[in-house]
Amino acid sequence: MSGNRDRIEIIPANGLRNFLSFCRLPRLLYQNQPGFAPPLDAERWTMFAGKLNPHFKLVQSQAWLARKNGKLAGRILAQIYDEAYAPLGASRAQFGCLDAIDDDGVTAGLMRAAEDWLRQRGATLVHGPFSPSVNSETGLLVQGFEAAPMVFMPWNPPYLVDSLERQGYTKARDLISYRYDVGEQDRQASPSIMERPEWRKRLNIRTLDLKNIGKEAEIIVDIFNDAWSENWGFVPFTLAEFMSSADGLKLVMPPEGGFMIELDGVPQAFGVVLPNLHEVTADLGGRLFPFGLPRVISRIRNHAFKSGRLALFGIRRALHRKAAGGAVILAFIEEMRQRSKSSSIGHVEFSWVLENNFGMRRPIELSGARIDKVHRVYEKSLAA
């Protein structure tokens, strides 16, 4: 760096003005880039405000902004989990929300700020990005930059991957996202597993009762935490976290988007398919106010969505690698095919799956889905 032309500042993102800048920064940096769709600012507020997202009760955290020559140039979040919520196999010390212009000086400054803050709290290893948690937006995009943007999936430009790796970060895990294109064979398919004598009376699939979301939430969180409890990076999804987004879920999820699979009368698996809201919000440029909210609600209710995402799925661990578990997964796939008959959605994204979770990857690939995106979680030793 030399002279005022290269003046880079890293400042804590404290106070309302800096917080708002932190939330909208990606759309300021990445607008009009292929593969990027701006999330709504108001949704980002609920994601990153400590008083609105119960996740921040589990961690200590600090966010920063980068400015180059006085202009916003990047951001980052650092956090360290309380010991009671230590991620499975991963460090309690994490970074997230890494976004920056194409400038190694900016990336280096942001990473240094996060690393120093974590070291001061005893961290010797850092993982990320988690934005802000493994249960929300995870990983840095390393493949599929121009793939169709999907709701609640992070996007970053290719240069950021190289810039981060030049700071000494290496791969910890890859997360795989699949694309499934619904065809006529799906819409014409008839159920088979549900009609077999050995499963006909044992399996039942019902639509989630959004009017009784509190009771449903307890079941969903219980199944989700049991299903994912052996996965790398797992942090229990708290009921408070789920309920904080329940009202929004009721608003955006179509009636046929959520379902519970019961075996012998006991809930054993669930799935939630969200319509790809980017289809109805892209022209708002991230701004919801003053006229965006009624417009978005009207669009959600009236729009024939072409794409959607299987955002939540879980099957109890006791059924993993068992015949009953296979029957439940097949019933789930068949149910999605049956529901596609009355849906306009032709592109479904299954995201995400850990690269070594072959028990989940195999049935997805057997269904005909193909890898569409790869997000990577990085690590770096902070030891002296």
For the chain, the straight-line distance linking the first and the last C-alpha, in angstroms and rounded, comes to 25
Residue identified by tokens 């690269």 is: 355
What six digits make up the tokens of 178? 């699949």
Q: What is the pLDDT of residue 187?
A: 77
Q: What is the pLDDT of residues 52-92, one digit of tens each?
A: 999 999 999 999 999 999 999 999 999 999 999 999 999 99
Distance CA 129, CA 376 (A): 8
Q: What is the pLDDT of residue 1?
A: 39
Cα–Cα dist 206/190, whole Å: 17
Tokens of 373: 């995106």
Q: 323 Cβ partners below 8 Å, 6+ apart?
A: none
Rounded Cα distance, 210 and 254, in Å: 10
pLDDT of residue 292: 64
Q: Domains in the chain, please, with CATH?
A: 4-175 (3.40.630.30), 181-375 (3.40.630.30)
Nearest to 70 by CA among 157, 2, 156, 11: 11
Strand partners of residue 96: 77
Grouping H, G, I as helix, E, B as strand and the rest as coil, residue 32 is coil
In this prediction, the residues of the chain whose per-residue pLDDT falls under 50 are: 1-4
In 3D, which of 165, 89, 138 has the Cα closest to residue 353? 138
Per-residue pLDDT tens for 112-168? 999 999 999 999 999 999 999 999 999 999 999 999 999 999 999 999 999 999 999
The structure's pTM equals 0.93
Which residues in 274-289 are b (16+ Cβ under 10 Å) and which e? bbbbbbbbeebebebe
Bond before 132 cis per omega within 30 degrees: yes
